[in-house]
Structure 1
Amino acid sequence: MGLLGETAGRLPDRAMLDEYRSAGTKAAQQGVPLRTIVDAALREAEQIGSAAVLPALRRAVSALIEGYEDAQRLALRSEEEARREFVDDLLQGRAERLAERAEHFGLRLAESYVVAVARPVTGIPDAMAGTIERELIARFGSHNILIAVQSGLLVCVVPGTLTAATGEFTHHVRSRFEPGWRIGIGRAHRGPGGVVTSYREASNAIDLGDRLGLRAPVLKAADLLVFPVLLRDREAIEDLVTSVLSPLLDARGGPEPLIDTLEQVFAAQGNQTAAARRLGISTRAVTYRLERVRRLTGFSPEDPTQRFTLETAILGARLLDWPTSRDQ
């Protein structure tokens, strides 16, 4: 390598140290192991066989390592930037060279993928995504997994065949996030477009959970398919909500107590005692409120057909933020 031939017996000057740094950078770019460089410098010092060369050796090796590490840091930043760009393009559906770039990050986009997204109460530490990704790969023995931070969400992309992976992802979120987190899980879809679809389903599941006041921390898009169907015909759902629930606006104390009671009765499969327990009121109060609903609206929660109409109207009201949206 000839690192010390010109400096044996004297310390290297600034120009020589810059050359050593440059040599270290070039070695890193060429994939030469750092141990190989240091061993070469030590062998050269042994051949010279003089104690006077040790200070020069120390500085030369230090400069080599500095250049090598600088190149590694630059390569790492470049890789991280490429990864961020790829994730952004993948989840936004920008398809330029997407399959080719996906292979670099271990994804085979011809397969089916499921996307899960986790929303924290506070921010997501930079190192968390990498840590969770490494632990998932260690668990499932597959590099066909991607974890990234996107728009304040922790995104997990896994093959549709790894059904346990989203459960493991949930475990890591539960153990690392502060209470109040929520996860949405999309359905399995094939190809780059399928990843985008699953990502949107997962994000929408969280949004629906918020709008409907759902308590479950983990929401699956497959369990919420009825709500996008309702929202596709907004005019129809608005008409249903207005026609069925508007009479509740005249109730003493406003419509919210009656709407809350209907929600809890429906959630409890008609069990008024369980609904009363959730509401923190007596069973007699629940019965009274349901009778008030029947008299005001003409719909009885105990009649199967009328119950379905009432329940759909209640869901629509939550989706539309009714009656708040009525006043805006």
Structure 2
Amino acid sequence: MDVLVRVSEATGVPADLLGGYLSALTASIATGRLPDRSEVDALKACGTLAAERGIPLRALTDACLLVAEQLSDGAAVAGQENGTVLGAVLGAVLGAVRRSLAAFAEGYEEAHLTAITREGEARREFVDDLLQGRADARQAEHFGLRLAEAYAVTVVRTDEPLPPDAHVIRRIEQALVSRFGSHNILVAGRDGMLVCAAPASLAAATGEFTHHVRSSVAAWRAGVGRPHHGPGGIVTSYREAVGAIELGDRLGLRAQVLKAADLLVFPVLLRDRGAIVDLVGTVLGPLAEARGGPEPLLSTLEAVFASQGNHTAAARRLGLSTRAVTYRLERVRRLTGFSPADPTQRFTLETAVLGARLLEWPDRPLV
């Protein structure tokens, strides 16, 4: 036991973690055999215990080598006195050390993997709580968020849903943490999407996040919520970000990054559904009489509005001739009585087209 006391004092590794190792090593020196399965399992359990106690693997390895060194010195002296072959003794020691260290390391690594798994599960539970408004400040601090600040949430939807433990999520998080610090950024998977919560004071965080997404994911679209304070604020920003993506889909917007702040008019329109239904039906309803249905004329109006009234640019967007665009706009004027060339009528037409996309007309009936 003197050996264990000396080694423990020198390395800081508790003696109880090394007792089985010392016995296995002593037996190997005496018999020349390697540690058996029961001894290996005991050493593996000690490796797990060392990890749980927070003992560095380097210190554990140093303690093992120091025990082997002291036992080898004693065996060498005994070997010289008894005329034994030192090579056989040292060979037995080194073989036993190698197998013992492998067992220690295996137990140690398993403990770390278990801890990582538990942390991942806890993190997923926290993200669920956070985005449903159930997280508290202590939880948030553990995962790097200070809920007293205003946070903006960015949500990325990819063509293929991302699992919560996807490698791309961890890689993007590491890149952001290395720049902004671990107590400023949260990156996680949620409902197959990639979510990033960052303080509003870090204006560059959203751009940095989307930059890494662009270099890591082939097809994606992002929604950016407005900054809000507190746990409820993060929920609100998250819902705004998801809503921005959904609005982009319904309106056929081309931008990859959609900001909720730029789309505030659309929730306003939808709040009075009756009014928008009446507007679409009154202004655009007559387009249903057009040959081929209303969709080609709606698409033409959208292209013209997106091109600030430039017929040539709109034609390029649609893959048509400028003459065809002009013909379609005249057809709209004749059917509806509204012309994009008239400023007042243009506003009415554009609002009605946006309303039609929000209501998914003409694919769905106006009710």
Indicate whether the TM-score tops 0.5: yes
Task: Name 1:250's counterpart in structure 2.
Answer: 289
CA shift, 1:142, in A, is 5.1
- Partners in 2 of 1:263 and 1:208 — Cα distance? 15
The answer to whether the Cα contact below 8 Å between 1:293 and 1:300 also exists between their aligned partners in 2 is: yes
CA shift, 1:47, in A, is 1.4
CA shift, 1:131, in A, is 0.8
The answer to whether the Cα contact below 8 Å between 1:4 and 1:45 also exists between their aligned partners in 2 is: no
Alpha-carbon RMSD? 1.8
Q: State, as a whole percentage, how many aligned pairs show the same letter.
A: 66
Task: Name 1:205's counterpart in structure 2.
Answer: 244
1:33 aligns with 2:72: no
1:135 aligns with one of 172, 175, 181 = 175
SS in structure 1 of the partner of residue 222 of structure 2: strand
The answer to whether the Cα contact below 8 Å between 1:205 and 1:221 also exists between their aligned partners in 2 is: yes
CA shift, 1:34, in A, is 0.8
- Tell me which amino acid in the other structure corresponds to 1:100: R
The answer to whether the Cα contact below 8 Å between 1:160 and 1:188 also exists between their aligned partners in 2 is: yes
- Partners in 2 of 1:284 and 1:9 — Cα distance? 96
- Aligned in 2, Cα 1:20/1:313: closer, same or farther, shift over 3 Å? same
Report Cα offsets for 1:151-203 as digits up to 9, x if no partner.
Answer: 1111111111111111111111111111x311111111111111111111111
Task: Name 2:309's counterpart in structure 1.
Answer: 270
1:110 aligns with one of 144, 148, 164 = 148
- Partners in 2 of 1:123 and 1:153 — Cα distance? 6
Task: Name 1:58's counterpart in structure 2.
Answer: 98
- Tell me which amino acid in the other structure corresponds to 1:62: A
Structure 1, unaligned runs of 5 or more: none
Task: Name 1:47's counterpart in structure 2.
Answer: 70
Task: Name 1:18's counterpart in structure 2.
Answer: 41
The answer to whether the Cα contact below 8 Å between 1:4 and 1:56 also exists between their aligned partners in 2 is: no
- Partners in 2 of 1:198 and 1:92 — Cα distance? 12
Larger C-alpha radius of gyration, 1 or 2?
2
- Tell me which amino acid in the other structure corresponds to 1:280: G
- Aligned in 2, Cα 1:109/1:327: closer, same or farther, shift over 3 Å? closer
Report Cα offsets for 1:113-149 as digits up to 9, x if no partner.
Answer: 1111111122437111111111112223453101111
1:159 aligns with 2:203: no
- Partners in 2 of 1:164 and 1:5 — Cα distance? 56
1:316 aligns with 2:355: yes
TM-score between the two structures when normalised by the length of structure 1? 0.94
Aligned length: 325
TM-score between the two structures when normalised by the length of structure 2? 0.84
Task: Name 2:4's counterpart in structure 1.
Answer: none
- Partners in 1 of 2:35 and 2:312 — Cα distance? 86
- Partners in 1 of 2:133 and 2:212 — Cα distance? 27
- Tell me which amino acid in the other structure corresponds to 2:160: T
Task: Name 1:6's counterpart in structure 2.
Answer: 23
- Partners in 2 of 1:21 and 1:282 — Cα distance? 76
SS in structure 2 of the partner of residue 182 of structure 1: strand
- Aligned in 2, Cα 1:289/1:5: closer, same or farther, shift over 3 Å? closer
Task: Name 1:181's counterpart in structure 2.
Answer: 220
- Tell me which amino acid in the other structure corresponds to 1:255: P
- Partners in 1 of 2:297 and 2:23 — Cα distance? 91
- Aligned in 2, Cα 1:3/1:258: closer, same or farther, shift over 3 Å? same
1:122 aligns with 2:160: yes
The answer to whether the Cα contact below 8 Å between 1:9 and 1:56 also exists between their aligned partners in 2 is: no
SS in structure 2 of the partner of residue 15 of structure 1: helix
Structure 2, unaligned runs of 5 or more: 1-14, 29-33, 76-89
CA shift, 1:327, in A, is 8.4
- Tell me which amino acid in the other structure corresponds to 2:35: P
- Aligned in 2, Cα 1:36/1:247: closer, same or farther, shift over 3 Å? same
Task: Name 1:232's counterpart in structure 2.
Answer: 271
- Partners in 2 of 1:4 and 1:20 — Cα distance? 7
The answer to whether the Cα contact below 8 Å between 2:146 and 2:183 also exists between their aligned partners in 1 is: no
- Aligned in 2, Cα 1:193/1:4: closer, same or farther, shift over 3 Å? closer
CA shift, 1:3, in A, is 4.0
Question: Is the deviation greater in 3-12 or in 34-43?
Answer: 3-12
- Partners in 2 of 1:159 and 1:58 — Cα distance? 50
- Tell me which amino acid in the other structure corresponds to 1:249: A
- Aligned in 2, Cα 1:13/1:248: closer, same or farther, shift over 3 Å? same
1:325 aligns with 2:364: yes
SS in structure 1 of the partner of residue 58 of structure 2: helix
- Aligned in 2, Cα 1:175/1:303: closer, same or farther, shift over 3 Å? same
The answer to whether the Cα contact below 8 Å between 2:152 and 2:237 also exists between their aligned partners in 1 is: yes
- Aligned in 2, Cα 1:298/1:4: closer, same or farther, shift over 3 Å? closer
